[in-house]
Amino acid sequence: MDVTANGRALELALAETPDYNSLEARDRAFARAIAATVFRRSGQIKAVLKPLVRKAPTAPVKAVLQTAVAQIVFMDVSPHAAVSETVDVLKSSKSTLGFANFANAVLRRVVEQGKHTAAATPPKANIPGWIRGEWERAYGKIPMTKIAVQLIKDPVLDVSVSHTHAGLGRQDMAEATGGTPIGRQTLRLGSIGDVTALPGFEEGSWWAQDLAAALPAQILMDQFEALDGVRVLDMCAAPGGKTMQLASAGMEVTAVDKSSGRLKRLKENLARTKLPATVVQSDALEYDAEPFQAVLLDAPCTATGTFRRHPDVLHNRNPKSVADLVRLQDKLLPKAATLTAPGGVLIYAVCSLQPDEGMPRVTKFLEATPDFSLIPITSLPGLDLPEDRFDGGVVRTLPCDLAKSGGLDGFFIAALRRAA
C-alpha cells in the first residue's frame, strides 16, 4: 500500500517495516516474492478478483486479498495454506476481523477458478493504462505485447566482471557458476538468489549490473583510443555500477551523487572490488571542478526500464513524476555540458522506457547548446539488437530484446561531443 499510495520503492517500504525485518531471512525472501508478484501480476490479480468482489473492501483488506491471489494463482504455495493464513491475518486485527468470512468465501472461489481467469487475461493487463499508452505509441503494439511478457518472467541476474582481476575472469566465473558470457563484460546467471554466495563476490571480481546498464559506460569508453588516466566524471554515480566499469578500465573517475545512503553503498562496492575513485557527495547541479575529458550523466529517472527486477516501478510512478524528472534532466544536461572539456564526450543515459525522458531531452539540449553534437551510434559490438534500436543515432533498448536469453533493461543512451 505504501508503494502505490505514497510512491515508495518496494525495497525501501519493506526495509522500513518492523514486522518484515523481524522475519528469518527465508521468510523475508518469501514475503518479498509475494509483494513483487502482486506488482508483476497486478492486472491479472484484478481480473481474478473483479467478478468475486462486488463492493470494494477497505484498502488493507484489498491488499490482503491481492497477496492471497498472488500465492494461490501464481506461486508454488498450497492453496489451502494460503487461504487459511489470509483468514488468520484478517482475524488478527479489529479493523479487518469483520472481513474474515467474506475473504474465506472469495478465496475459495479463487482456488476454483483463479488460474483459469488469469490465463485468459493477457500479460499487458499488468501494465498500468497510462504507461501502456505511452509505450504503445512509442514502440508499437506488438513490441508492447512482447515487453509485457518480460514482466511476468522470473528475472535473470547479470553481473559485470571486473577488467582488473587476473584471478577470476569472466571465463573462470562462467565455469564456476554455469553462467553465460553475453555482451562485452557481462555474465548472465540463471536466477537471482543470494548474490553474496557466488564465487568471486568476496574477492570483488564482479558486481551485479544488468547487461543494458553496462552499455552507457562501454559507449563512453569506445570514444577513446586509450583509457588509462583519462579523467571522467560520473555525475549521478551511486551505487556505482558504472563507476566500477570506468575505474576497472583504468580511467581516473570522480563519482558524484547527492544521496549519502546510496554513496555508502558505492563506497562499499569500491572497497569490495578494490577499485579507485574520488567520491564526492554533492548535488550535481552545484558541483564544480575543472572540466573532464568525459562526463557520464546516468540521470535520475522513473526507472520504468528496470521493471523485470523492480515491478513496483510501474506502480509508484505517474505522469507528474515523469514531468518532475524531465525538469531535473533538463537542468542536469546543461550542467554536465559545463563540466565537459572542449573536445570531450558527454553520455546521457536513463533506465526509463518513458519516451519523454529520452530523445526529447537530447534534442532540446542540442538546440540550446550549439557547441555539442550527437556522436551517432549505429550498432553495439557483441550485441545483436534490431536495427531500429539505433534510430536517430541513439540507443534504445527494450526489455523484449534478447528475449530468449532473459531480456534486458529498457535504456535510452545518447553520446555527445563538445566541439574542440
Q: Which residues are at the interface with ligand SAM (CB under 6 A)?
A: 236-242, 256-259, 262, 283-285, 298, 300, 351
Specify the DSSP class assigned to residue 155.
P
Q: Which is nearer to ligand SAM, 141 or 327 (CB)?
A: 327
Question: Smallest distance, Å, CB 152 to ligand SAM?
Answer: 25
From the list 308, 125, 345, 150, the residue with the least C-alpha distance to 232 is 345
- Angstrom CA distances, 183 to 136, 168, 224, 376, stand at 28, 18, 19, 20
Question: Smallest distance, Å, CB 326 to ligand SAM?
Answer: 13
From the list 232, 227, 259, the residue with the least C-alpha distance to 243 is 232
Residue 212 among known ligand-binding residues: no
Q: 100-119 and 59-69 are packed helices; what angle lies between their axes, rounded to 10 degrees?
A: 50
Q: Which is nearer to ligand SAM, 44 or 304 (CB)?
A: 304
Residue 400 among known ligand-binding residues: no
Question: Smallest distance, Å, CB 286 to ligand SAM?
Answer: 8
Q: Which is nearer to ligand SAM, 114 or 239 (CB)?
A: 239
From the list 376, 383, 377, 410, the residue with the least C-alpha distance to 396 is 410
From the list 58, 54, 53, the residue with the least C-alpha distance to 69 is 53
Residue 298 among known ligand-binding residues: yes
Residue with the three cell numbers 555474465: 187
- Angstrom CA distances, 32 to 11, 16, 159, 394, stand at 8, 13, 22, 36
Q: Are 255 and 238 in contact (CB under 8 A)?
A: yes
Residue 239 among known ligand-binding residues: yes
Question: Smallest distance, Å, CB 102 to ligand SAM?
Answer: 43
Catalytic residue among 351, 362, 377, 400: 351
Residue 242 among known ligand-binding residues: yes
Q: Is the dihedral of CA 378, 383, 388, 392 positive or negative?
A: negative
Residue 240 among known ligand-binding residues: yes
Which residues is 280 bridged to in the sheet? Answer: 256
Nearest residue to ligand SAM on Cβ basis: 236
From the list 300, 322, 323, 304, the residue with the least C-alpha distance to 314 is 304
Question: Smallest distance, Å, CB 327 to ligand SAM?
Answer: 11
- The CA radius of gyration of the chain, in Å to the nearest whole number, is 23
Q: Is 301 a catalytic residue?
A: no
Q: Which is nearer to ligand SAM, 204 or 239 (CB)?
A: 239
Q: Which is nearer to ligand SAM, 205 or 304 (CB)?
A: 304
Residue 278 has, within 13 A of its CA and on its CB side, a CA count of 10
Question: Smallest distance, Å, CB 401 to ligand SAM?
Answer: 19
Residue-by-residue DSSP string for 248-305: HTT-EEEEEES-HHHHHHHHHHHHHHT---EEEES-GGG---SPEEEEEEE-----GG
Q: Which is nearer to ligand SAM, 143 or 410 (CB)?
A: 410
Q: Are 339 and 290 in contact (CB under 8 A)?
A: no
Residue 237 among known ligand-binding residues: yes
Catalytic residue set: 351
Mark the binding-site residues for S-adenosyl-L-methionine, compressed into ranges.
236-242, 257, 298
Mark the binding-site residues, compressed into ranges.
236-242, 257, 298
